[in-house]
Structure formats: C-alpha cells, structure tokens
Structure 1
C-alpha cells in the first residue's frame, strides 16, 4: 500500500453562515487548522460563499456545493475520490450540514461522526428513545402527524407539554402548551407541515455542556448556565460560563454527558449538550455534534485562557499526545436585547455599551425605521452584548446592566 503524500487534510462542510457569530467561529477553526499545517477544503452554497469571503480566504480550496443536499455531496465526493482527492477528517459546524458531513466521512474513510449517530441525534425523538433505552432520564415524547395525534398525546399524560419541530433550530416553532386550548395555536406556529413532537415539559434550571472529542471520547470544557424569556416561547436571553455549581453537581453532569455521548456513538469534533437539573437529577435535553450558538465559543475562549477550541481536536487528528485541557479561571456572559415590539424610532446608549472595556462583542440586529417583532424565536432578538469578567456573578451582572442601559424608542406598527 502506497502512503499518501502531502499534509493532513480537512473537509469543512457548510463553512459559515453570514451571521457574525458563525463567521467568527469558522475563522477560529480555519486559523487553528492552518497553524497546524492542516490543508483545508471548504464546501458551501455559491451564494453563501460570496457573502462569507473572509472565511473562504482562509481555506486552501473552496468548492461550490449545497451542503444541505447529502445526495449531491455524496456524488461530488465519489467523483473527487476517483480523482485521487483524500481527506483525513470531515467537520461541519452547523446542524443542517451534519448529514452531509457524516456521508462524506464514509466516502473518504475519514475521521468524523458515523451516519447512524448523526441521524439519531438530528431526530429529537430518536435521540430521546436511544438515551432512554441506555438508561438515561428523558422526558416523554410523542411523534405526531397532525392536531389529532397531538390531542391524543395530551390525553395520555398530565402536562404541561412542549410542541416543537422534530428537527429544528433557533427555538423556531417551540411553544409551551398548558392544556387543549393552547394546542391548535402551537401546531399552527410550527414552521412546516412535517411530523412534529409533543414533549413532556421538564421543570428545573437549564444548562448546556461544551466540549471536544479527544481519542474518540468526550471531554467537557465547561458548563454554561442559561436564562430564557418566560413561556410560552423558549428563546434564550442569556448565558454565563462557567456555571456556578457545587463540585458534586459538576461531576454528575460531566459523567452523565460523556456517558450519553458514548452511548450515542458520537466521537469526533466538538459537542453542545443541553440538560435540566431536576429533583431527580440530570435530565438530558438536545444533543448536538457541533458547537453551541449564541457566541458560546467566545465565552469559552475568554473564560479559559489559552484554549484553542478546535486545537485539541486537530492535535488528536495529528497524533500528538494529548496534554491536560486548560480550565476556566475567568468568566464570560452574553445577554440578548429584547425590547418592546413596534416600529423603532431611536436607540440611545448603544455607543457607550459597544465601547465598554469589558465588551468582547456587541451587535445590533435592528435599526431605526425597522419593525421589532415579539420575540418568538432566536431571530427576533434585537441585539447582543458579550462581556468578560473575573467571576460568573460579575459577568452576569455586567451583561444585564449593559443591556438595560440601551433604550429603544418605538411606536405601534403593523407586524409588531
């Protein structure tokens, strides 16, 4: 057998979306790969490549290909493999591209997550079933095709419940249901007519776990505490990292999450796992084989000095002996702005917030003349402030304080 000649190579499936957080994350990943001599090829839709040029310029090669169409990706990969192109690893950083990344992993015989594992975690009910079968606490869930199915689920359980898409993101179409009178509206607000889920509502504070896979096993980097707007919607308003938890609870979460990822057969890249702390212990939520959104990667790299988020993954790929992962010695928080709905007339105080020395990133998603909608999913939030501080309590306090100092003057408007 002839050894392959050339540097190690990575196929980056899906690149970045035009969102600033996605561009920043992809930039970090490609920069850390390049620093280790890894050759990178990026595939994404032609129109997205055009709008994310700063990301494309960091890759060694760019290919126009729709990463949301696994069948097209497989045909492209087989043609490239027949031409002698090879990749040592395949990685995607966004949920919609995980199927394609897994398929390409198989075509190239590369390091990556298996297709069955990705399919399992992308379908929330399948993931629930797999985790429950493996002995992990899970909320009850019903797969429904229509309103009648959903009404049947309500009759079979005590409630309250959550209606959500089977495969969704950004809290789109996720709504609390407290009784039959709420159900029709929740179903109407789903983004598609596809089968959907009715899930048992879990009571308890929510957290997420951020980490990497090294040597085929999951390693926790940090636990994040999250805050959401009041129901009936479940939009995240803020995060603080690391979460202030007793050491015993931290160990319990670490053990539960790493064991669950092993049971689900995820083994490559980075992960983001959501969970609740209940009276009975940890109840696992959604599992993602990609980084958390909402600038969580920036919270990580500030709170853990010296951390290169993708560094341990790439060093492992290169066969470098794993060293101890750095730990959090500082803290960071993110706060989203959710002003009253209406037509925006004026914003006061933003310049002062954006120039604050503790701010790591600040961005507005609205401008005067535009309409601020009621916050029903992540895309309805009006802005974001990311801060660093010495302690979680101070980071949380500062982020909230800065967010409150921004004043939005609005007037009634259609569509708000």
Structure 2
C-alpha cells in the first residue's frame, strides 16, 4: 500500500491529537459521536459513530484497514483508551497498548486488585454493590475512607468519608448514576479504600519494551474533603535520591504487573508514613495541561511522545523541544460554593509577563454551581518560573490578583 494511504485513527481526541498526527504526515481518520463542520474539514476521513457501541467501531475500523495502511490508533481521552487498544488488536497492530493492559488501568477496581494480589502495593480496599454491603465491609477499616466508582474519571463521585453515614450516602450517590461521564454503564462494584494521608504527586513516565523512564514528577494540590478536586500542578518536583529510587521501583513494578509494555503513563502517588503508594494508573499522558508544563521544563511533549511510541519509536529517537523555563505551574479556578462569579478578568485579555496560558470558562456575574469535580472548574492560569522565582510562587500571585469570589 502506498505511503499516501498511511493513516492514523483518532478516537474522540480531547487536545491537539489531530494536529500532532497531521504534522507527522499521516492521513487522519476521526471517530467521534458528533463532529462539527470545522473538525470535519480538518481531517481526511470524519466518521460519526456511537463510540459506546465498540463492536460497531471495530467493524468500521476493519473496513478502513482494507482501504488504508493504518499505522496507529491514538487518543488522549482516558475513557477511550480501551477502545483504541481493542481496535489496534482487531486490525493487527503490535506496537501499542494491549487491550488487557488498557482495561487494567481504566478500571480502578482491576488496578487495585492486581497491585494488591501481586504485592506491588497492598492498599486496603473492598468492593461493594450496595450501601447495606458497606456496613459489614467497614468493620475492616478505620475512618476516613475513600469511596469511588470503578469506571469514572476526573474525580467524579470520589468522596472522602468520615463516618458510616457518609459512606452510605456516597455509595448511594454512585448507584443513582446509571452511566459514567461518557454514557457507559457504571460498574456495579464500588470501591472503598483506606485513606492515604500525605502529599500527592504524579509521575509522568514512558515505558518502552517494558523498561520505564521517568520524564517528570508533578506536585499536586488537592481540595479539602469531602471532594477531591485537583486545583494545581507544579513541575518539576525534585525528590531525594532515596525517594526517587523508591518511586521508580514502585512505578516500574506496577506498570509491569498491569501489562504496560509500550506507553506514556500518568501515575498518581502519595507519600505516607508507611512509604509510597499508588492512587491510580492512567495508560496515557496526564490531563489538566500537565503535558504543557512538562514540555516547558523538559522539552518533551508527552502527547507527541505517546504518538511516537504508538508508531514504534524509542526514547532515543523521540522528538524534543528547547527547554523554556526551570519550572512551570498551573492553578485552577473553582467555585467553593454555588453563587455569582466576581473576578478581575483583565489578565486574560491583557496578559502577564510570566503567564504562559490562561482560560476563563465563565463570565463575571455568571451564576455557577459549586465545583465538585475536575469537570466543572471555572478556568485556569499557567505560569513559568525564572532562575529567581519559582513558577508556584508566580502562579499563586497571579491567582491572587484575579480576586475570585463566589457570592
């Protein structure tokens, strides 16, 4: 098949995946439930299809593989990683993520069970299907505990509970949702986990032929209970030599038992009094603009790197850009209560010398609900540091200047 027929399938891309594929010179085949006119003209083959009907998507992919030389199936969309893996296996691609590895990471109960059974990270957990089942299960735990759905994302319905009543309420809230954020049936088995006390980080790494290299470590800021909302990320976070070795060993073992052979991953971890523990494993680059922060500081674009690996590339021949700054940070805007937004939004139009990017999703005077997950934050600002001032300090100064209040 001619080079002009070489193509990459993109499944519900969320960021700049289309541009990355086009820059590589491949034809672009887009799968999405609904495609707007602008996006339809930006790709070679736009296909509207119900992505939750995975058998139909696979059938269409097999048909396309007879017309095009499909080189990879690509997305940064957490929910669609297993579908990409399923398509890849169906059309005979060998370079990327296996379907089982994708499922092991996408479903939090599978991740926790595999890590526990393999003795890589034995965080206490139990699975329940109803509030009544939780009453017996809670006898194994001390409060607080974490309650979360097995197959959602973005901190949706994740609660830290201080009592049996709060656990019952959190479980019932999950059961009241028939589907997750993208309309897939909610897994009936709900996770109750021990609460891990300590600072939270994420490890941005690349695994090639089973060997894992850490690209960057991100320091995370999380809201106070009951919700678990990410409100800030800072890159890099420098660990001591001992901690770095412990983290690298933990991540490498976890990815190995989960079946990750070739992928860019985003692993959330905490350091507790008993050592380092895993919160969750994502078989794709981090969201929340983390790739932008990592590129500023390291020169590696994690999304570009993920595509490079999916095409069979190595870290040695991976694309790398000039380093822009020694540190970078993002801070998110949230509504701490429902009400009217008051904000000094001039920085979004006039800029700031260290502001790399910013976005406001609401207007001054708009009425908003309380922010309860990563999906209904109000906006963000990204700052880069200098040799004199760290990005975390600059980002906090910019955040303060916005004078955000909800009344």
Q: In the alignment, is the contact (CA less than 8 A) between 2:29 and 2:44 conserved in 1?
A: yes
Q: Which residue of 1 aligns with 2:70?
A: 87
Matches within 5 A, 1:352-363: 355-363=351-359
Distance 1:392 1:280 in 2: 35
Q: Which residue of 2 aligns with 1:50?
A: 36
Matches within 5 A, 1:32-71: 32-46=20-34, 49-50=35-36, 53=38, 57-71=41-55
Secondary structure (helix, strand or coil) at the match of 1:189 reads helix
- For each residue in 1:322-369, what CA deviation from the matched residue of structure 2 results, as whole angstroms up to 9, or x when unmatched? 427769762110111234434326422543786012112111122234
- For each residue in 1:137-190, what CA deviation from the matched residue of structure 2 results, as whole angstroms up to 9, or x when unmatched? 232111111101112221222232111111111111111111213223222332
Distance 1:410 1:252, change over 3 A: closer
Structure 1 position 107 matched with structure 2 position 104:
no
Structure 1 position 147 matched with structure 2 position 143:
no
- For each residue in 1:225-278, what CA deviation from the matched residue of structure 2 results, as whole angstroms up to 9, or x when unmatched? 101111111111111011132133123212321232122112334211111112
Q: Which residue of 2 aligns with 1:390?
A: 386
Distance 1:59 1:309, change over 3 A: farther
**TM-score w.r.t. structure 1 length?**
0.85
Q: In the alignment, is the contact (CA less than 8 A) between 2:208 and 2:314 conserved in 1?
A: no
Which of 1, 6, 11 is matched with 2:3 structurally? 6
Aligned length: 392
Which of 302, 305, 310 is matched with 1:309 structurally? 302
Alignment RMSD, CA only?
A: 2.6
Distance 1:316 1:350 in 2: 41
Matches within 5 A, 1:179-194: 179-190=163-174, 192=177, 194=188
**TM-score w.r.t. structure 2 length?**
0.87
Distance 1:105 1:392, change over 3 A: farther
Q: Which residue of 2 aligns with 1:20?
A: none
Of 249-258 and 161-170, the range deviating more from structure 2: 249-258
> Which 5+ residue runs of structure 2 have no aligned equivalent?
179-187
Of 183-192 and 283-292, the range deviating more from structure 2: 183-192
Deviation at 1:320, TM superposition (A): 5.8
Matches within 5 A, 1:14-413: 14-16=12-14, 25=15, 27=16, 29-46=17-34, 49-50=35-36, 53=38, 57-81=41-65, 83-110=66-93, 111-190=95-174, 192=177, 194-215=188-209, 217-305=211-299, 307-316=300-309, 322-323=315-316, 330-344=326-340, 346-351=342-347, 355-390=351-386, 394-408=390-404, 410-411=406-407
Secondary structure (helix, strand or coil) at the match of 2:74 reads strand
Secondary structure (helix, strand or coil) at the match of 1:87 reads strand
Secondary structure (helix, strand or coil) at the match of 1:348 reads coil
